Amino acid sequence: MKPVLPHAQLDWDDQGRPYSRVFDDVYFSDKSGLDETRYVFIEQNRLAERFAALPEGGRLVIGETGFGTGLNFLCAWQVFEQHAAPGARLHFVSVEKYPLSHDDLQRALALWPELKVFADQLLAQYVAIHQGFQRLVLDNGRVTLTLLIGDALEQLPQLDAQIDAWFLDGFAPAKNPDMWTAELFAELARLAAPDSTISTFTSTGWVRRLLNAAGFKMKRTPGIGHKWEILRGAYLGWPETVPAPAIPKPWFARPAPVAGERRALVIGAGLAGCASAASLAARGWQVTLLERHDALAQEASGNPQGVLYLKLSAHGTALSQLIVSGFGHTRRLLEHLHRGVDWDGCGVLQLAFNAKEAERQAQLASAFPEHLLQLLDREQAQNRAGIDLQSGGLFYPEGGWVHPPALCQWQAQHPGTQLLTHHDVLDLRRSNGQWQAWADDRLLAEAPVVVLAGAAEIKRFPFSRELPLKRIRGQITRLPETAASRSLSTVVCAEGYVAPARLGEHTLGASFDFKSDDLTPTAAEHLGNLKMLEEISPDLVARIGADTLQPEALEGRAAFRCTSPDYLPIVGPLADEEGFMQAYGALSKDARRIPDVPCPWLEGLYVNSGHGSRGLITAPLSGELLAAWLDDEPLPLPRAVAEACHPNRFALRRLIRGKA
Ligand SMILES: Cc1cc2nc3c(=O)[nH]c(=O)nc-3n(C[C@H](O)[C@H](O)[C@H](O)COP(=O)(O)OP(=O)(O)OC[C@H]3O[C@@H](n4cnc5c(N)ncnc54)[C@H](O)[C@@H]3O)c2cc1C
Ligand SMILES: C[S@@+](CC[C@H](N)C(=O)[O-])C[C@H]1O[C@@H](n2cnc3c(N)ncnc32)[C@H](O)[C@@H]1O
């Protein structure tokens, strides 16, 4: 079984236009796809006018069924560029069951030279597009594309967004009746913002009637090309006759958006803090990034090489979904950095080092498509890795290693972010609607919003003291490259990991020590790392000459990982602990009776922490999640995954189960 979402299967006509084999239909009209898109979707939703009316810092959210070749998206982006003020933003959410391969997308978009400037940016970021939510940050964050890869009827119910304009595309209703259903239209209505508009190229009577029944007021309007009539409409409101859609529980509801100044303090300049700063600054926030060391990325995020290591589950858990979405997002950000020094997409090979691991890998191979992961036998694995191995394994062709400080640096470089080093925040106070960062009697900085991104150190503040974060010491070993070890051509992992050399050194990682508080590297842990290298490949041990190295003479560094009990990061708004217990105390007696009490949010206080052993994959997307909570934007993850990462989950569990 190889179930998941193949790429679109296309044929190309004699004029180079794509045609879907599965749906037996065209992606765009054979007359002029561009004119049709502009007329049907852009004009009927009055986008030029609405973009022009956006204030500085304003945004419009477009939703689409059927991303296809991205033509509608690129047209919308072009019109946005022509009409919107410099500080405005476009957010485009599109669902796609059969994403085009990169080559096919490139070929299809080559048909529209006038969109080339936009198409090139899309193509540069169209990598690691896998199932679920995939966020693409374009034009320095001015344009955000959230692709929901999967069936519209599975994906849209997971979306938390308010859509201002709907593009109802997705092949002709007669060719694709499974999609054009009352169920889908109810989702469009659930997600519609109060003044939402909608348009579609079809005028089919039952489509119009079902949309009307869902709460849209649809009108027939003259068509274009060989479409006699099309439909456009506006959302009037949820029909009274239909039961209202479920709303989030009050403890997971969105806090009221911060009114007034868009200024934030971010405390901690590791991956989590730099990602938070980047996502906020891209949205026009003024960010002050406070770091106690003399530079960013000096603690867990300071290793010379970290691995884009995907520990997935075949059962689609929240963590596994977060990993697939986070991996895609980080992987796309890396396209902006220097390959070879800042990162390398050399692939990651996870060895099947015992029978249990081999079984787990076989399950994963049947649950995920080949462009994400592939099972390799021993010989194939050796060819990939360039060294002798004792087993085959699972190969992630788009994985690789990253120099985390380079990613931090890139994320913190936005002109809207000011990095203040040597700023150790000892105390946090709320005064006159501002959060104040203090060091003894010195006020370091203040702003209406503060993001706690100091890993486990955030427990020093009373507001976040109860969050169940633990520190786990880890040490990496730096091994000089040799002529023989240069053949290593991919990251190889078993219990530990080793990467192809960066600037003449391999990183070998990493130990786990749950007890030690001391960050001085130890020979014992270098020895432990060397044992893990032996498990990975005795051949590589020999190539590096690691068996001749004295552990006492080895170089490395140690830092603390910061983990939560469920291994998910902690990202989102914080509530007042005591107020929470009072507001929802009744849950401890009956978990099904939800008190109708708003959550006692600590206004403007947010957290981004608990990234454990996989911050490279989770922290950058968590920056986007945090900004989405703060700016009342479409969430970059399914609602259930965002809730699984929510800081309130622990207090809730304590109430319901009597434990965190
Ligand atoms: C040995 C080791 C190997 C790892 N390998 C990998 C890997 O291969 N792949 C992967 O994805 N992940 C890996 N990780 C995990 C990854 O490094 C972390 O998940 C990630 O760096 C966490 O980022 P962070 O910003 O939350 O924390 P940190 O990088 O620790 O950053 C927190 C920052 O906050 C600052 N700070 C804290 N409190 C204050 C304060 N009050 N005032 C001012 N500044 C403050 C600190 O100085 C620090 O700079 C590894 C971790 C370790 C330790
Ligand atoms: C006509 S094409 C869309 C054209 C596209 N908007 C563009 O600008 O190129 C229709 C798209 O809808 C997708 N699609 C069809 N049924 C779907 C479903 N149930 N869920 C998600 N996507 C679907 C198809 O794979 C196809 O890419």
Overall average pLDDT of the 356-384 stretch:
96
What is the per-residue pLDDT across 68-97, written as a single tens digit (0 to 9) for each?
Answer: 999 999 999 999 999 999 999 999 999 999
List, in order, residues 6 or more apart from 428 with CB less than 8 Å away.
Answer: 267, 435, 436, 437, 438, 450, 461, 463
Closest CA to 343 of 400, 301, 399, 402: 402
Residue 280 reports pLDDT greater than 80: yes
Contact between 163 and 63 (Cβ < 8 Å): yes
Asked if residues 215 and 193 have their Cβ atoms less than 8 Å apart, the reply is no
Other CB atoms closer than 10 Å to residue 622's CB: what's the count? 32
Predicted confidence at residue 7, as pLDDT, reads 87
Neighbours of 324 (CB within 10 A): 22
- Cα(166)–Cα(163) distance, integer angstroms: 7
> What is the residue with the minimal CA distance to atom 18 of ligand 1?
615
So what's the pLDDT on residue 5?
55
CA of 520 relative to ligand 1 center, distance in Å: 16
- Contacts of residue 145, defined as CB under 8 A and 6 or more positions apart, other chains included, come to 73, 92, 93, 94, 122, 135, 136, 138
Atom from ligand 2 closest to the CA of residue 68? 27
So what's the pLDDT on residue 258? 87
Q: Which ligand is nearest to the CA of 455?
A: 1
Local confidence band at 33 (pLDDT 50, 70, 90 cut-offs): confident
Backbone angles phi, psi at 307, to 5 degrees: -110, 140
Q: Which residue has the tokens 């403890």?
A: 251
pLDDT tens per residue, range 484-498: 999 999 999 999 999
- Tokens 């007669």: give the residue: 174
Confidence of residue 654 (pLDDT cuts 50, 70, 90): very high
Contact 649, 641 (CB under 8 A): no
Phi, psi of 392 (to 5 degrees): -85, -160
| Residue 375 to residue 361: CA distance in whole angstroms | 7
- Asked if residues 401 and 507 have their Cβ atoms less than 8 Å apart, the reply is yes
Residue 56 Cα distances to 9, 41, 47, 175, angstroms: 42, 24, 17, 42
Measured between alpha carbons, how far is 580 from 650 in angstroms, rounded to an integer?
Answer: 11
Residue 658, classified by CB atoms within 10 Å of its CB into exposed (0-12), middle (13-18) or buried (19+), is exposed
For 237-265, b where at least 16 C-beta lie within 10 A, e where not — what string? ebeeeeeeeeeeebbbebbeebeeebbbb
Q: What's the pLDDT tens digit per position in 428-461?
A: 999 999 999 999 999 999 999 999 999 999 999 9
The predicted pLDDT at position 2 comes to 46
* Ligand 1 atom closest to the CA of 426, numbered from 1: 41
Each residue of 114-141: pLDDT tens digit?
A: 999 999 999 999 999 999 999 999 999 9
Q: Is the pLDDT of residue 534 over 70?
A: yes
* CA angle, 293 then 295 then 301, to 5°: 90
Residue with the smallest CA separation from ligand 2 atom 4 is: 68
Is 301's pLDDT higher than 70?
yes
**Are 96 and 68 within 8 A, CB to CB?**
yes
Ligand 2 pocket test: which of 25, 179, 188 has the largest number of ligand atoms within 8 Å of its C-beta?
A: 179
Contacts 24+ apart (CB under 8 A), 373-379: 373/310, 373/312, 376/349
Query: Please, which residues have CB within 8 angstroms of residue 535's CB and are 6 or more apart in sequence?
Result: 353, 494, 495, 496
For the segment 467-490, what is each residue's pLDDT rounded down to a tens digit? 999 999 999 999 999 999 999 999
Identify which ligand lies nearest to the alpha carbon of 291. 1
Beta strands in 77-162 (DSSP E): 89-96, 132-138, 143-149
554 in Cβ contact with 544 (< 8 Å):
no
Distance CA(346)–CA(165), nearest Å, equals: 40
**Given the CA of residue 179, which atom of ligand 2 is nearest to it?**
19
CA of 625 relative to ligand 1 center, distance in Å: 18
Give one word for 88, left, alpha or beta, with left for phi > 0 and alpha for psi -120 to 50. beta
Q: Which residues contact 205 (CB under 8 A, 6 or more apart)?
A: none
pTM comes to 0.97
User: String of b and e for 460-480 (b: at least 16 CB within 10 Å)?
Assistant: ebebbebbbbebbbbbbbbbe
> Which atom of ligand 2 is closest in space to residue 167's alpha carbon?
6
Residue 31 is predicted with a pLDDT of 62
Tokens linked to 137? 């940050």
Q: 69 in ligand 2 pocket by Cβ < 6 Å?
A: yes
Taking residues 262-279, report their average pLDDT. 98
Ligand 2 atom closest to the CA of 26, numbered from 1? 1
The CA-atom distances, in angstroms, between 24 and each of 149, 152, 227, 506 are 21, 19, 18, 51
Cα separation, 323 vs 619, whole angstroms: 10
Q: Are 542 and 516 in contact (CB under 8 A)?
A: no
pLDDT surpassing 90 at residue 3: no
Q: Is the predicted pLDDT of residue 1 greater than 90, yes or no?
A: no
**Closest among 606, 602, 624 to 570, alpha carbons compared:** 606
Helix 182-191 / helix 205-214 crossing angle, nearest 10 deg: 40
Our answer on whether the CB atom of 326 is closer than 6 Å to any ligand 1 atom is no
Q: HSE (CB half, 13 Å, CA atoms) of 44?
A: 31
Dump pLDDT digits (tens) for 372-403: 999 999 999 999 999 999 999 999 999 999 99
Residue with tokens 């998910």: 568
299 CA distance to ligand 1 middle (Å): 5
Hey, what are 616's tokens? 């490279």
